[in-house]
Amino acid sequence: MINRNPRSVPYFSWGAERIYYISNALYSKNIVLRFIALLLKRLNQLIFRVNIPPQVSIGKRLELPHGGFGLVIHHDTKIGDDAIIFHNVTIGNGGAHIKDRVYIGTGAVIIGAVTIGNDVTIGANTVINFDVADNSIVVSPKAIIIEKNNFSTTEKN
């Protein structure tokens, strides 16, 4: 039995995921097919605004709800099975290792050679530069007001 991501929703993945999987399969074959794989990466950038190099190692059943618009993944990254990655996510520089059934919310940033464990949920706009243990939920601190402006929306005569 497949241990799928419980947060998975049924949708037809017709776009960026499919182009990535084709480019990844072609990349390791030979020089001519590697060139085609890199062209497919460019196509993904132009159509879906997704930067997933064909060198990235991504497991089965990647889900990019909302098309993954704005997604940037560094070429040293390893992502396990059943990952759900929302739009405007950056996984950058250093070779992050993201394990199975990880949910990454909109605008999250993962920086450095970090390991994200199995069944982890990363909230929207969270910045991660440290290892995260299995079955964790990571969110950014709550927004606080640092200064209150006393601007009025109506003019007084």
Q: Residue 56 has which token pair?
A: 């990235």
Place of tokens 């079955």: 135
Give the residue-averaged pLDDT of 65-71.
86
Q: How far apart are CA 57 and CA 72, in angstroms?
A: 14
Average confidence score pLDDT of the chain: 87
Q: How far apart are CA 56 and CA 147, in angstroms?
A: 43
Residues 6+ apart with CB under 8 A from 105: 86, 89, 121, 122, 123, 124, 125, 126
pLDDT tens, residue by residue, 117-144: 999 999 999 999 999 999 999 998 777 7
Are 92 and 75 in contact, with CB atoms under 8 Å apart? Answer: no
The residue type of 10 is P
Domain residue ranges in the chain: 16-138
**148 vs 140, higher pLDDT:** 140
Residue 68's nearest CA partner among 13, 120, 16 is 16
Please say whether the structural domain 16-138 has been given the CATH code 2.160.10.10: yes
Residues 6+ apart with CB under 8 A from 44: 16, 19, 20, 23, 50, 51, 52
Give the residue-averaged pLDDT of 55-65.
92
Residue 149 has pLDDT above 80, yes or no: no
Residue 112's nearest CA partner among 133, 91, 98 is 91
